[in-house]
Amino acid sequence: MQSVAQAVERLRQLAAAEPLATLAQRFAEAGHELALVGGPVRDAFLGRPVNDLDLTTDAHPDEIIRIVRPISTAHWDIGREFGTIGAQFGTETVEITTYRSDEYDAESRKPVVAFGDTLEGDLTRRDFTMNAMALRLPSLTLVDPTGGLDDLLAGRLRTPIAPERSFSDDPLRMMRAVRFAAQLGAEVDEAALTAIRGMLDRLAIVSAERVRDELVKLLSTDTPRRGLELMVDTGLAAIVLPELPALRLEVDEHAHHKDVYEHSLTVLDQAIDLERSRSSVPDAPPDVVLRLAALLHDIGKPATKKVEAGGAVTFHHHDLVGAKLARKRLTALRFDRDTIKQVSRLVELHLRFFGYSDAKWTDSGVRRYVRDADALLERLHILTRADVTTRNARKAARLHGAYQELEDRIAVLAEQEELAAIRPDLDGERIMQLLGIRPGPVVGEAYRFLLETRLDEGPLGDEEAERRLREWYAARSD
């Protein structure tokens, strides 16, 4: 948190720079108000980078376009229905929105758009008081009708109006509350928490796509665990991601199995730390696929839990069951196909390593591990390492050592064999040419035979591969 004086100076410099300086001048000349609003103002006080320039005005969309068209390098009106016009100024992008006073209908997923007349009225319809501050341009007057600065300084997340009214107007704000709690380290106001617990059914009117986007934003924060815990504690998770609270399995008095819920959150924490430390790209965007896999990797355990004779608890095949559950949940949340495929595959593969720690694999086993992981190999490295949460220091050291050995062996084989792109020594065209056959199922069978041979033995070379292929075909034809 910066001091108020530092934040004001930062906002002054931002307003004096382009494109805000020119925009403020042009709107004033046209007889319209203009203010920097929401996140940029909040982040200036928090000392966070100001990446988005969100502006609000009393001008309606047609007038906004008339003002920005001559001075922008591009503009677009995809948000015109909601009063928002986007514009590009060199490398800077801004969004300018007409004052709003709309609210959501009781049964609708979309707001009934109504333009407002005043900045203060616009601010009171926003989600939280710390996001309901604005800086008038060019006068540099801070407008804070709901006490947002006091709440920001106190680390308190509070709605500008009664939380029941605010969350009814836009139920997704309940999800935003837990996301901002994680992102900004703020405490959610008790009245807001009470309202969330009593209004969970209202979230049903929000589209799955909007819920998904908010979940992704939460997982993309530096410390999503806090928000996820709030989702579980308030009941939001039971609606959005019911597999998460289901992980809170009853732990018997003899502790025959670990707390799967706490373990999963710890795996997420550790995966994020490893994601950062192992990345070769500075300021790389959060790896949402990895984070989803870390959070969901054990969701198959509740369905596969079994108490064996003697009290031992087992979760046989929870990796396969978990992969199916992950696929089902992410599909319901309208994730894209690639994300669904990658997350479910990581969940399916997350136990594969643990046999290695008991008995070293052959080179063939290592090749198959790489082949099965394919483009997900680095993510699987991170997920598997993060999955070690035992408090037994000796066991943890043994597992970490074993995985490091596996990674080292993969690196050596990769250097020798181009392991990341394992293919048979002969391609489909060469197979058809050698066997004198046309495209069809036999070509696929031959390809798979050569691939399995390559995985077992390493590169054969063209001459040996051709000999093996002819032998295989002759035996097949007998």
Task: Per residue of the chain (478 residues), give pLDDT as tens.
Answer: 667 788 888 899 999 999 999 999 999 999 999 999 999 999 999 988 887 899 999 999 999 999 999 999 999 988 888 899 999 998 899 999 999 875 556 665 565 677 888 999 999 999 999 999 999 999 999 999 999 999 999 999 999 999 999 999 899 999 999 999 999 999 999 999 999 999 999 999 999 999 999 999 999 999 999 999 999 999 999 999 999 999 997 554 444 456 899 999 999 999 999 999 998 787 889 999 999 999 999 999 999 998 887 778 889 999 999 999 999 999 999 999 999 999 999 999 999 988 776 677 888 888 888 888 989 999 999 999 999 998 889 988 988 998 999 899 888 877 765 554 567 888 888 888 888 888 888 888 888 888 888 877 777 888 888 888 888 888 876 5
| Domain range annotation of the chain | 1-151, 155-240, 245-421, 428-477
> What does the chain come to in residues?
478
Query: Is-contact 237 231, C-beta < 8 A?
Result: yes
pLDDT at site 374: 87
Query: Is-contact 104 110, C-beta < 8 A?
Result: yes
Query: Is-contact 273 222, C-beta < 8 A?
Result: no
User: Any idea which fold 245-421 has?
Assistant: Hypothetical protein af1432 (1.10.3210)
Residue 416 burial (CB count, 10 A)? 11
Residue 453, CA distances (Å) to 139, 351, 456 in order: 75, 25, 5
C-alpha 332/C-alpha 110 separation (Å) is 20
User: Any idea which fold 155-240 has?
Assistant: Hydrophobic Seed Protein (1.10.110)
Tokens linked to 86: 């986007």
SS3 for 188? Answer: strand
DSSP state of 252: P
Residue 455 burial (CB count, 10 A)? 18
Pairing of strands 84-89, 34-37: unpaired
C-alpha 77/C-alpha 356 separation (Å) is 56
Nearest by Cα to 180 from 133, 139, 141, 217? 217
Q: Among 3.40.630.30, 3.30.460.10, 1.10.40.30, 3.20.10.10, what is the CATH number of 1-151?
A: 3.30.460.10
Burial 277-290 (b: 16+ CB within 10 A, else e): eeeeeeeeebbbbb
User: Hey, what's the torsion of the CAs at 293, 298, 303, 304, to 10 degrees?
Assistant: 130
Nearest by Cα to 205 from 247, 227, 174? 174
Query: Is-contact 316 306, C-beta < 8 A?
Result: yes
C-alpha 157/C-alpha 234 separation (Å) is 15
What single string gives the DSSP state of each residue in 112-141?
E--B-S-HHHHHHTSS-GGG--EEEETTTE
Pairing of strands 84-89, 187-188: unpaired
β-bridge mates for residue 35, sequence order: 56, 136
Cis amide bond preceding 40, omega within 30: no
